[in-house]
């Protein structure tokens, strides 16, 4: 039991992870209130209405108060508009990073503090630890027990203030354990499938989602030597590392006698409306530049050696760093395919996430 009944606002998404988070906190004696955030309620693939109903059902099953907050306007401005703008620039953005920093640990946290809550909690798979050191007390962000579900990548922009107010009850559980708890205590979402896709938007086809604002703009597909390979329908509809998806020209096919090499997107030249593709060693990079750096606390990476992740779910790669003004050049121990401008690169010391930035 906590020393005092701390008041915790739990973000109830309507899924099993947040539901079990609320259950665990209530079981531990916290004064729990379920809060559902409405951020997006339009278009194919959106399940906002069902999620809201499921969140209410969870709150009723747990016998906790329930609130609904409408952040649709702010979510559109801070996440979705930026998402479109970055794609139009040829970048591959991380909307879930902004969703966490701007909405969940931005507006939701601000609301909770103004309403007298001590903490907010979410169903993220991550761990927050209070670390006592000789000269300071700090908050650290660590990988969870379930490394397969690790969501620290999306939380790298959280700082000391946010972490001092954050709770991630699932950090010491594996997903299968969470499902088992939900089933054993009779939570109504125990068997609900995990949400996929863009934060709050849902499992949508990215190309179709982009088409709502960005139009086809046919241009040339060229190899790394500038030879025309074929045609594309708009550079923003392709991601770095993507295999195929464009029209191969007849002349190019004849050149290879029908045996066309496997090409991957290696660059997007928005200015000249060209998609650059390559194969083999051309598709790999040994280094990347990271800007717009954000650190969880005062602790920084040891430039002589740390681990980095350049996409959610990607492997952890040994790396070294070299500062260049406000940016850091990251040299990878192993060359990687699909290093995309606009994506986040995050840095770890052991299992602790120290911070990250934007590739570009």
CA distances from 329 to 33, 146, 291, 313, 345 (A): 44, 30, 9, 22, 11
Report the alpha-carbon distance of residue 107 to residue 340 in Å, rounded: 29
State residue 112 phi and psi, 5-degree precision: -60, -45
Q: Is 99 a catalytic residue?
A: yes
Q: Is 39 a catalytic residue?
A: no
Burial of 207 (0-12, 13-18, 19+ CB in 10 A): middle
Report the alpha-carbon distance of residue 166 to residue 9 in Å, rounded: 10
Q: Which of 39, 46, 199, 315 is catalytic?
A: 199
Q: What is the DSSP string of 139-199?
A: EEEE--S-GGG--GGGGTT--HHHHHTEE-GGGG--HHHHHHHHHHTT-TTTTPPPP-SBT
Taking residue 191's Cβ as centre, other Cβ atoms within 10 Å add up to 10
State residue 69 phi and psi, 5-degree precision: -115, 135
CA distances from 150 to 29, 71, 125, 233, 303 (A): 26, 26, 5, 35, 24
Q: Which of 39, 46, 99, 315 is catalytic?
A: 99
Report the alpha-carbon distance of residue 145 to residue 91 in Å, rounded: 32
The pairing of strands 137-142 and 127-132 is: antiparallel
Instruction: Dig out the tokens for 22 from the structure.
Output: 């609320």
The pairing of strands 219-223 and 228-232 is: antiparallel
**Which residues contact residue 263 at a Cβ distance below 8 angstroms, ignoring those fewer than 6 apart?**
223, 229, 243, 244, 277, 278, 279
CB 99 within 8 A of CB 202: no
The set of catalytic residues is: 99, 199
């Amino acid at each position: 039991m906590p020393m005092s009944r701390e008041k915790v606002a739990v973000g109830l998404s309507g899924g099993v992870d947040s539901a079990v988070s609320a259950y665990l906190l209530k079981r531990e004696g916290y004064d729990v209130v379920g809060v559902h955030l409405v951020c997006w309620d339009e278009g194919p693939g959106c399940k906002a209405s069902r999620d809201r109903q499921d969140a209410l059902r969870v709150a009723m099953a747990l016998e906790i108060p329930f609130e609904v907050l409408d952040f649709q306007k702010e979510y559109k401005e801070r996440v979705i508009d930026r998402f479109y703008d970055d794609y139009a620039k040829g970048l591959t953005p991380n909307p879930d990073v902004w969703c966490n920093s701007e909405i969940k640990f931005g507006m939701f946290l601000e609301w909770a503090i103004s309403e007298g809550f001590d903490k907010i909690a979410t169903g993220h798979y991550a761990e927050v630890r209070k670390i006592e050191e000789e000269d300071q007390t700090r908050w650290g962000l660590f990988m969870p027990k379930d490394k397969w579900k690790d969501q620290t990548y999306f939380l790298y922009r959280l700082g000391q203030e946010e972490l001092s107010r954050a709770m991630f009850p699932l950090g010491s559980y594996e997903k299968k354990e969470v499902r088992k708890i939900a089933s054993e205590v009779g939570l109504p979402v125990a068997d609900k499938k995990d949400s996929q896709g863009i934060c709050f938007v849902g499992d949508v086809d990215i190309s179709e989602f982009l088409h709502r604002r960005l139009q086809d703009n046919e241009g040339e597909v060229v190899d790394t030597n500038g030879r025309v390979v074929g045609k594309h329908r708009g550079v923003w509809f392709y991601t770095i590392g993507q295999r195929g998806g464009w029209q191969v020209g007849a002349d190019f096919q004849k050149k290879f006698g029908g045996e066309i090499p496997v090409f991957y997107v290696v660059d997007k030249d928005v200015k000249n409306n060209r998609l650059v593709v390559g194969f083999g060693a051309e598709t790999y990079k040994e280094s990347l530049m990271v800007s717009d750096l954000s650190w969880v606390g005062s602790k920084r990476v040891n430039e002589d050696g740390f681990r980095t992740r350049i996409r959610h779910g990607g492997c952890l790669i040994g790396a070294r760093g070299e500062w260049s003004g406000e940016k850091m050049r990251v040299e990878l121990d192993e060359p990687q395919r699909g290093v995309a401008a606009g994506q986040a690169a995050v840095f770890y010391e052991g299992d602790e996430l120290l911070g990250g930035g934007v590739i570009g």
